[in-house]
Structure 1
Amino acid sequence: MALADQSARERIRTDLDTTLVVEAAAGTGKTTELVGRMVAVLMAGRGRLDGMVAVTFTDTAAGELKLRLRTHIEQARRDDAGCTPEARRLLTDALPQLEEARIGTIHSFCADLLRERPVEAGVDPLFEVAPDDVARMLLDRAYDRWFEAVLANPGPGVRRILRRRTGEDGPRGLLRAALHALAERRDFPTPWRRAPGFDRDGAIDGLVAEMAALAEWASRGNPEDYFTQSLAELARFVDDVARAESVRPRDHDGLEADLVRFVRDWHAAWVGFRSAPNGFPKAELREKRDALKVRLDRFVADAGADLAPELRDELWPVVEAYDELKKRAGCLDFLDLLLLARNLVRGKAAVRRELQRRFTHLFVDEFQDTDP
């Protein structure tokens, strides 16, 4: 009985001049068909193994792919009915190339390109690839040096973070987490662009006023009711703000940090089922509280987007110091491999032409998991 997708499977092994993208559920045989297509290219004389690149997600998967390719080649050679003498010769010629075949992860392929062209890529010809723990250690070393120095004169973004007392490691941990996010996405600027039209100070003033109006009802409800208790939390926050502002002007950096912490801890979902005193519009107040919670959540998100570009600029020297530490250690991290290989191919026309000539076929397994 033929498979429902038999025609698609046949096309994979016969339509060798078309770039194909295969989408199917796990366990349906995508890798088997990829290997079959590689063998079909070899048998048809459309390409040699040393002109193919096969990329998969992990080193283990790459080793398994190489073993499967060897098995398929051996099986095809023994198929007297389906293998012509010329195809058998081509497969026999391919076997000695298997150990040197470009079958690996995208990172290993990029590392090979850089080692072949170190001058054009601007890398140490003897560079090592830093394991994740080593790369993290170097980044943290650069961060620790920067953090001790920046405390003497913090920029506006760092000042805003220093006011936050959240997380296990406080502001230091928040800044470290932001640095790691920046280092991991240092080629992708979009998340670090300021959201247009956000007036942080105006948003804070509006929220505090809205919180104060709702908090006035806390003393009029049933103190044993959970809903009233959630209003009491609002009232305590508003009272703290009023006390602070009785002795100094409004501190928007501090209020931003306080609002972020309040949103995290506030029991805004508490409903409460005890009866309300006469004149206490519980249903109406619940609607107002729920609307306030939405606006507070929106503020936290907008404030984060507003803060990110400042942090990016102030943390960027740490990324540069990290690059310098890697250079001294003669190593590159995994993202370096991708970025430098991309820059090499994009910026050096002669290198690009040579690679296009040498590599005639590219096969990507587990495409959804491969770094774009």
Structure 2
Amino acid sequence: MKLSDASLRQIEAAHPGRSTWLAANAGSGKTRVLTDRVARLLLDGVMPQNILCLTYTKAAASEMQNRLFKRLGRWTMLDDVTLLDELAALGVERDLGPDDIDRARTLFARAVEAPGGLKIQTIHSFCAAILRRFPLEARVNPQFVEIDERAQNLLLDEVVEAIADGQGQSSFDGIAEHFTGPDLQKFLHAILNLDHHFDSHPGADGIWKALGLPAGYDDASLAQECFLPDDFQHIEELKALLMTKDENSNDFKAGLRLQAIPGPELTTADLPTLESVFLNKTGKAPGLAKIGSFPTKATRAELPGMAQVEALMLRVEAGRQSRLSLKVARRSLALYDFAAEF
């Protein structure tokens, strides 16, 4: 029988005396190689109870066990010539004879009757079995049961509800203010997976310091850095002038964005809008004020308070990093508060 290169590689990977790392595409024969490997171990006289196969999913464990038992059961019914051909196709390197035929035909019964059964199981069930054998060493209750995904999600929901229903300000309120993801369950699982990062709470001062902000820095501090009392009036004058321009012009489009600023004074909530109009998004100077390039030259000449607008542009530029750092600080504090209680 002439074997293809792929078949030869499968036979090589199934050799029970070699440590093999197998990587291949779906449907290319990985499960067959594994079942071939177990079959060759059994043919070599290894007791079924001494073989351990671990998979990631229950479906994979079931598939592998079904294939193996199907093959061993088939061997009990084959004639000698056909059975020898199948054993040879496994890559057995010794000369095959009557003893091999007899052993192959008894493997099905030996596998079925093996104490504890043939061990083809998931990593999770294997680890659970180890924990049950050594509960004192693992410091777990010997009567523990594994939680399934549905029960875990229900438990997560119950914990969140208990936190949200607490008296006064809830740590979940802070998360609800900042959370923008579509799936709260994924967020909760992420906290569980990263729980070691929340062993110690740095406190508000620690978070603010880590982000380069003075202790107690807040919206009022940011507004004081960015705005002067008459800035809103200058924005109103700029807005009115921009809205007189051609509707397809960049000046007019900037005026439309400035319409989102309600007044009667500028607040830190207006900073993202001001940044979108006053600062470069891309190019050679991203994040820097459009001094000399916004609005257009003709429009700048028409605006009496252009100097004051440019001064505001520079303050918005200088305050952008503080605004972003304050946003991250608040989100981090909310996360630490919630994670600690959760």
Per the normalisation by structure 1, the TM-score is 0.53
**Is it true that 1:13 corresponds to 2:30 in the alignment?**
no
Preserved contact between residue 56 and residue 106 of structure 1 (Cα < 8 Å): yes
Alignment match, 1:243: 265
For 1:20 and 1:216, the matched residues in 2 are separated by 75
- Within 5 A, what are the aligned runs for 1:197-346? 198-199=211-212, 220=242, 222=245, 224-225=247-248, 231-232=254-255, 234-236=257-259, 239-240=261-262, 243=265, 245=267, 279=298, 307-308=331-332, 311-312=335-336, 314-318=338-342
Considering Cα pairs closer than 8 Å and 6+ residues apart, tell me whether 1 or 2 has the greater RCO: 1
For 1:131 and 1:228, the matched residues in 2 are separated by 58
**Is it true that 1:136 corresponds to 2:153 in the alignment?**
yes
Q: CA deviation at 1:68?
A: 0.3
Over 3 Å counting, the alpha-carbon distance change for 1:153 and 1:51 in structure 2 is same
Q: CA deviation at 1:64?
A: 1.9
Over 3 Å counting, the alpha-carbon distance change for 1:26 and 1:314 in structure 2 is same
**Is it true that 1:103 corresponds to 2:120 in the alignment?**
yes
Alignment match, 1:34: 34
For 1:167 and 1:305, the matched residues in 2 are separated by 19
Alignment match, 1:146: 163
For 1:56 and 1:215, the matched residues in 2 are separated by 67
Alignment match, 2:190: 181
For 1:159 and 1:10, the matched residues in 2 are separated by 60
**Is it true that 1:3 corresponds to 2:9 in the alignment?**
no
Q: CA deviation at 1:75?
A: 4.2
User: 2:168 is aligned with what amino acid?
Assistant: A
Q: CA deviation at 1:70?
A: 0.8
Preserved contact between residue 11 and residue 33 of structure 2 (Cα < 8 Å): no
Alignment match, 2:138: 121
Over 3 Å counting, the alpha-carbon distance change for 1:223 and 1:302 in structure 2 is farther
Unpaired segments of 5 or more residues in structure 1? 269-275, 282-291, 319-372
Preserved contact between residue 182 and residue 312 of structure 1 (Cα < 8 Å): no
Preserved contact between residue 50 and residue 101 of structure 1 (Cα < 8 Å): yes
For 1:101 and 1:214, the matched residues in 2 are separated by 78
Over 3 Å counting, the alpha-carbon distance change for 1:180 and 1:10 in structure 2 is closer
For 1:259 and 1:227, the matched residues in 2 are separated by 18
Query: Which has the larger share of helix?
Result: 1
User: 1:101 is aligned with what amino acid?
Assistant: L
Preserved contact between residue 55 and residue 106 of structure 1 (Cα < 8 Å): yes
Pairwise CA RMSD of aligned residues? Answer: 5.2
User: 1:130 is aligned with what amino acid?
Assistant: I
For 2:50 and 2:196, the matched residues in 1 are separated by 30
For 2:61 and 2:41, the matched residues in 1 are separated by 19
Q: CA deviation at 1:240?
A: 4.9
Over 3 Å counting, the alpha-carbon distance change for 1:162 and 1:10 in structure 2 is closer
Q: Secondary structure at the match of 1:23?
A: coil
Unpaired segments of 5 or more residues in structure 2? 88-95, 227-231, 282-294, 301-315
Question: Aligned residue pairs: how many?
Answer: 271
Rg comparison, structure with higher value: 2
Alignment match, 1:329: none
Preserved contact between residue 52 and residue 102 of structure 1 (Cα < 8 Å): yes
For 2:176 and 2:30, the matched residues in 1 are separated by 51
Q: CA deviation at 1:229?
A: 7.1
Preserved contact between residue 53 and residue 119 of structure 2 (Cα < 8 Å): yes
Q: CA deviation at 1:37?
A: 0.8
Q: CA deviation at 1:65?
A: 1.4
Q: CA deviation at 1:116?
A: 2.4
Q: CA deviation at 1:316?
A: 3.2
Alignment match, 1:65: 64
